[in-house]
């Protein structure tokens, strides 16, 4: 009897424990945050993802909801982009202090997008989507080429680390980066595994006898790119789904609060401006130089300040430009102001100001000052930024010369006056009226006419010309004709 009572008390205790846990779970309902990762991977996207996650974590902390474990769903649709921006996003996702991260490939996750997708704990892919091909590409004088081994080895290490952390096939993850890696699917001891060709060749004869099947998954000269079905078969994707609702239903989050984090207006503007920054920089520098060469301060100076301001503002919002770059731009602007308003011509102050502005612009396009040798793409990025800024200066100089020479002089024709529209090309004084002489009047040659000289008529000394003959001084002359203000004379015949 006592045993039955103890059993009843134990069952009641378990019931209360289960009820308490159920009530606690209902009170601490999970929240799902959907963060779109679409378009080109660039610093603007990295800043947006970082801001979104920081705001979510700060909001949970402010509301004392530490017991809630947020679920972050990164909705992927990108062909890739800059390596440095992709690694910033990967670091942001990997360093989330708590919660679960899910990558949902809505259309594609190519190149840098594949790297971002593998940084999440789980991967789901919509039907008929693709992922892979993360070969680093650099721009050269001969066009786009695959980056060297220095960059590839760093990216391979990053792919390996993410694959190990989130339980993705390590060898296949590496094959997304390396084009000369050949990968086999090997069946040994009843288990499937992925193996590099070199590792397979290193197997002993006894180990090779245990191999019951070998299939080439990635051929030499190819990069691993998978559709949703292949990604599932190879152990990357959890499942191919129809939409994001199915993902949440599979994970048991269909009844949770679902919040989509959108870009702010400033982030949208920054991402919109990113492709046009070189053009804005070109126009800005050209306008500033035009202002220096033109008198006073007017439209070119305003245009230059606005364009360079947009460049710096966009880079400041994505976290690349800071107070150092702002200080350099201000010092350069002050030196240009001294050149325009204080010193004549264009000399040391102007050249120094332009060089300082160039340095500030270069630094504003990158998140470092001196490239890190362990991150070889930083050196390539520095050279690209230098070429971009110096090229902009060169083209801006040529464009400004063209504007000063041909455009500015024509502005008076399209701008309202008042302007003097008449010219003096046909202006003249009528000799008949001004000199009070007329054909037929007579006088004497005051000087030799050979054929031009001076004559004296009516006590007035006037210029005259013959029709080619020479007339000696003192010879009587008669005005033959007045033509275009020229007094034509001939010898007077008695």
Q: Which fold has domain 26-146+159-164+227-263?
A: 2-enoyl-CoA Hydratase; Chain A, domain 1 (3.90.226)
- Name the residue among 152, 158, 64, 144 with its Cα closest to residue 116: 158
Q: What is the pLDDT of residues 269-280, one digit of tens each?
A: 878 887 788 888
Question: 348-353: long-range contacts (C-beta < 8 A, 24 or more apart)?
Answer: 350/292
Q: Which of 79, 199, 55, 93 is nearest to 134 (CA)?
A: 79
Q: What confidence score (pLDDT) does residue 460 get?
A: 84
Asked if residue 13 has pLDDT above 70, the reply is: no
CATH of 431-491, one of 3.40.50.960, 3.40.50.300, 3.40.50.720, 2.40.50.140: 2.40.50.140
Residues 401 and 286: beta-carbon distance below 8 Å:
no
Among 349-353, 440-444, 462-466, the least confident range: 349-353
Residues in contact with 200: Cβ distance below 8 Å, sequence separation at least 6, in sequence order: 184, 186, 214
Dihedral angle computed from the Cα positions of residues 9, 12, 16 and 18, in that order, rounded to the nearest 10 degrees: 120
What are the tens digits of pLDDT across the range 382-404?
Answer: 887 788 888 877 877 777 777 66
Tokens found for residue 446: 């005051």
Q: Is 226 exposed, middle or buried (0-12, 13-18, 19+ CB in 10 A)?
A: buried
Distance of alpha carbon 199 from alpha carbon 245, whole angstroms: 41
Bridge-partner residues for 213, per DSSP? Answer: 187
Longest CA–CA span in the chain (Å) reads 173
Mean pLDDT over the full length of the chain: 80
Structure tokens at 486: 């020229």
Query: Do the Cβ atoms of 385 and 371 come closer than 8 Å?
Result: no
Greater model confidence, 430 or 340: 340
Rounded CA-CA distance 420/408 in Å is 17
């Amino acid at each position: 009897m006592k045993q039955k009572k103890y059993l009843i008390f134990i069952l009641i205790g378990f019931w209360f424990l289960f009820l308490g846990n159920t009530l606690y779970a209902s009170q601490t309902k999970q929240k799902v945050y959907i963060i779109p990762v679409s378009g080109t991977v660039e610093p603007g996207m990295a800043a947006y993802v970082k801001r979104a996650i920081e705001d979510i974590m700060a909001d949970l902390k402010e509301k004392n909801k530490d017991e809630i474990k947020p679920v972050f769903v990164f909705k992927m649709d990108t062909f890739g982009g800059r390596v440095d921006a992709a690694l910033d996003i990967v670091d942001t996702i990997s360093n989330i202090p708590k919660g679960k991260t899910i990558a949902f490939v809505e259309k594609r996750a190519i190149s840098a997008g594949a790297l971002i997708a593998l940084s999440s704990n789980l991967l789901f892919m919509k039907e008929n989507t693709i992922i892979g091909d993360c070969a680093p590409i650099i721009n050269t004088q001969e066009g786009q080429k695959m980056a060297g081994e220095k960059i590839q080895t760093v990216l391979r290490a990053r792919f390996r680390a993410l694959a190990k952390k989130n339980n993705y096939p390590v060898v296949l993850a590496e094959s997304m980066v390396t084009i000369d890696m050949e990968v086999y699917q090997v069946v040994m001891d009843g288990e499937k595994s992925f193996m590099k060709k070199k590792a397979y060749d290193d197997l002993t004869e006894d180990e090779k006898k245990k191999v019951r099947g070998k299939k080439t998954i990635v051929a030499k000269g190819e990069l691993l790119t998978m559709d949703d079905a292949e990604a599932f078969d190879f152990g990357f994707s959890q499942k191919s789904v129809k939409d994001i609702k199915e993902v949440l239903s599979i994970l048991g989050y269909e009844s949770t609060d679902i919040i989509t984090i959108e870009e702010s207006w400033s982030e949208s503007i920054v991402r919109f401006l990113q492709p046009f920054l070189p053009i804005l920089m070109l126009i800005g520098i050209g306008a500033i130089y035009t202002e220096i060469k033109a008198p006073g301060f007017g439209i070119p100076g305003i245009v230059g300040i606005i364009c360079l301001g947009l460049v710096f503002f966009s880079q400041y919002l994505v976290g690349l430009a800071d107070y150092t770059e702002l200080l350099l731009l201000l010092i350069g602007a002050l030196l240009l102001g001294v050149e325009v308003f204080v010193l004549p011509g264009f000399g040391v102050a102007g050249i120094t100001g332009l060089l300082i502005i160039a340095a500030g612009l270069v630094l504003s396009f990158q998140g470092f000052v001196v490239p890190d040798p362990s991150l070889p793409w930083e050196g390539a990025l520095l050279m690209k930024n230098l070429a971009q800024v110096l090229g902009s200066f060169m083209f801006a100089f040529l464009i400004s010369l063209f504007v000063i020479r041909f455009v500015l002089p024509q502005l008076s024709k399209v701008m309202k006056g008042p302007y003097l529209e008449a010219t003096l090309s046909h202006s003249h004084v009528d000799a008949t009226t001004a000199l009070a002489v007329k054909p037929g009047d007579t006088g004497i040659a005051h000087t030799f006419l050979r054929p031009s000289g001076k004559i004296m008529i009516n006590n007035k000394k006037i210029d005259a010309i013959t029709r080619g003959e020479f007339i000696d001084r003192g010879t009587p002359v008669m005005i033959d004709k007045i033509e275009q203000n020229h007094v034509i004379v001939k010898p007077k015949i008695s």
